[in-house]
Amino acid sequence: MKKLDDLIDRKKAGALIVLLIIAAAVMIFTACEDTLMRQSYKAISGAAEWTESDQLLPDSGAADDNFGRSAAISGDYAIVGSPLNDDMGNSKGAAFLYKWNSKKSLWEYKTTLYGDYGTSYLWEYFGCSVDIDGEYLVVGAQGYSIDGSNPFRGAVYIYKINTDSTCTLQEKVIGEENNDELGYSVAIHGDYAIAGAPGYNSDEGRAYIYERNGTDWDYGDAGKGIELKKSDGPSFGFNPDFGKSVDIDGLYATVGAPGHDQIGKVYVYNNIDGTWGTSGFQEDDSIVSPNGQSGDQFGTTVSQWQELLAVGSLGNGGFAHVFNRSGGFYSLSQSLEDPKKTNLDSYGGDVAVYGDWILVGSAKADSNGTDSGALTLFFYFDSEWMLFDKFTSLKAGAYETFGNALGIDGDTLVVGAQCDTGELAETGSAFIYQFE
């Protein structure tokens, strides 16, 4: 991604003069403030903007598959979850892998992943969550059961992508108890993967870390992974849903508990010395909702990039906040405001952060028809997160929920639209955008 300082160095005085002129115009013509700010960013970046480059569709799709319920991107690969896919049985689910073909300038379908179902329960929801980093990817199946008699234990599958774009399963972890919903949320970065089990102990919730060791992923002597401990004890508030959202980046892991005290809370963990046990992942900080209102659902979604943390709150009209880590603690940097959002837009239903960009989804915004969805982008400029753009795909019509899932890596982003009509009603799709 091009950094603002690099761009300013390239354009030097010319860009600065443009900015000064635009800043003066903003002061005079306040009604056009947002548009002029966006134009100023484009002037600095050589008129670059996010443009739709491809639409991903399932290789095998049917009505109500919810392809695009989850989506992630890393380098030349994108992974899209379809938890209601019926290829292997009623809503057992699937995940589809795509790769960028530079010669053809398009994203090609490569393979479909299915869970190791056996005779297990229906409604596994494999693909309810996905993430990818380099040559490794992780898929959650919150509905997984054992032999059909232990519903919704959940499971996590970790794969390695081979050179021919096939995938080898390296690890499968199953939830401890019925209704744990392990895999409701997943993330992966480097040698670590994380998974949430928000249904554990009547929605108290849990989260676990797994570490790669060669071709295996260690998940502790108890076979469940290293549990991330909470400083406020094993039970707090009504249905806290600890693990409803997770992310991991470098030394930091983040877990959302949007039901904590009916307001929401986010926990951040620091891998002190890279070992398991009590000297491993320790709680670094916990963050409460800046709004502090009942029903905020603070921590509905989280996204971590180095020491930068974005948090979405789906309740009370929807919010998005960004926090910075300094001195071992996180402080609110800014609340990300979209002046055009409404209380019914589901603003903050998903967020993603990478470098100078933060993405906020509004899956029920009426940008191109009722609940067509929208994506709001913020760009870091002059020590502030500024509204850069808001758009939806022209292919996303009414009730198609564009923006329900988000992923970004460098100059490429993926946006899920799980109710997109595609070829059939609510088959779903995902859209690729390039910054160019």
Chain segment 170-180, per-residue pLDDT in tens:
999 999 889 99
Number of CB atoms found within 10 A of residue 328's CB: 9
Q: What does the CA dihedral 49, 374, 380, 349 come to, rounded to 10 degrees?
A: -150
Q: Is the pLDDT of residue 324 over 80?
A: yes
DSSP structural state of residue 221 = T
40/62 same-domain check: no
Helix (H, G, I), strand (E, B) or coil at 364: coil
Domain that holds residue 395: 51-435
255/315 same-domain check: yes
Among the listed ranges 10-24, 40-54, 138-152, 160-174, which one has the minimum average pLDDT value?
10-24
14/100 same-domain check: no
Task: Please compute the mean of the pLDDT values over residues 165-194 and round it to a whole number.
Answer: 94
Q: What pLDDT score was predicted for residue 382?
A: 86
22/128 same-domain check: no
Q: What pLDDT score was predicted for residue 404?
A: 97
30/64 same-domain check: no
20/164 same-domain check: no
Q: Is the pLDDT of residue 427 over 90?
A: no
Band of residue 275 on the pLDDT scale cut at 50, 70, 90: very low
Say how far residue 48 (Cα) sits from the centre of its chain: 24
321/394 same-domain check: yes
- Gap between the Cα atoms of 340 and 347, Å rounded: 10
Q: For the whole model, what pTM was predicted?
A: 0.87
Contacts of 359 (CB under 8 A, 6+ apart): 350, 351, 352, 353, 375, 376, 377, 378, 406, 408, 413
The number of residues making up the chain comes to 436
Sheet holding 167-174, edge to edge: 126-133, 136-141, 155-161, 167-174
Q: What pLDDT score was predicted for residue 283?
A: 74
Q: What pLDDT score was predicted for residue 237?
A: 55
Q: Which amino acid is at 378?
A: F
Burial class (CB in 10 A: 0-12, 13-18, 19+), 219: buried
- Gap between the Cα atoms of 218 and 225, Å rounded: 7
Instruction: Name residue, tokens 């970046």.
Output: 45
Q: Is the pLDDT of residue 409 over 70?
A: yes
Instruction: Name residue, tokens 């460098």.
Output: 410
Q: What pLDDT score was predicted for residue 14?
A: 43
Which tens digits make up the pLDDT trace of 201-238?
A: 888 899 999 989 888 887 655 556 788 877 776 655 56
Contact 341, 367 (CB under 8 A): no
157/103 same-domain check: yes
Burial of 116-143, coded b for 16+ CB within 10 Å and e otherwise, reads: ebeebbebbbbbbbbbbbeebbbbbbbb
Number of CB atoms found within 10 A of residue 262's CB: 16
- In SS3 terms, 254-310 reads as EEEECCHHHCEEEEEEEECCCCCHHHCEEEEEEEECCCCCCCCCEEEEEEEECCEEE
**Which of 411, 391, 431 minimizes the C-alpha distance to 80?**
431
146/277 same-domain check: yes
76/124 same-domain check: yes
Number of CB atoms found within 10 A of residue 105's CB: 9
Answer with the one of 33, 48, 63 that is the final residue of a domain: 48
Answer with the one of 27, 48, 69 that is the final residue of a domain: 48
- Gap between the Cα atoms of 137 and 279, Å rounded: 27
Contact 205, 198 (CB under 8 A): yes
Q: Facing residues of 113 across strands? A: 95
44/55 same-domain check: no
- In SS3 terms, 390-430 reads as EECCCCCCCCCCEEEEEEEECCEEEEEECCCCCCCCCCEEE
Return mean pLDDT, the chain.
Answer: 84
User: What's the domain count of the chain?
Assistant: 2
Q: Is the pLDDT of residue 79 over 70?
A: yes
User: DSSP alpha helices (H): ranges in 104-236?
Assistant: 200-203
Contacts of 382 (CB under 8 A, 6+ apart): none
* CATH code for the domain in which residue 402 is found: 2.130.10.130
Q: Is the pLDDT of residue 413 over 90?
A: yes
391/304 same-domain check: yes
- Gap between the Cα atoms of 150 and 321, Å rounded: 38
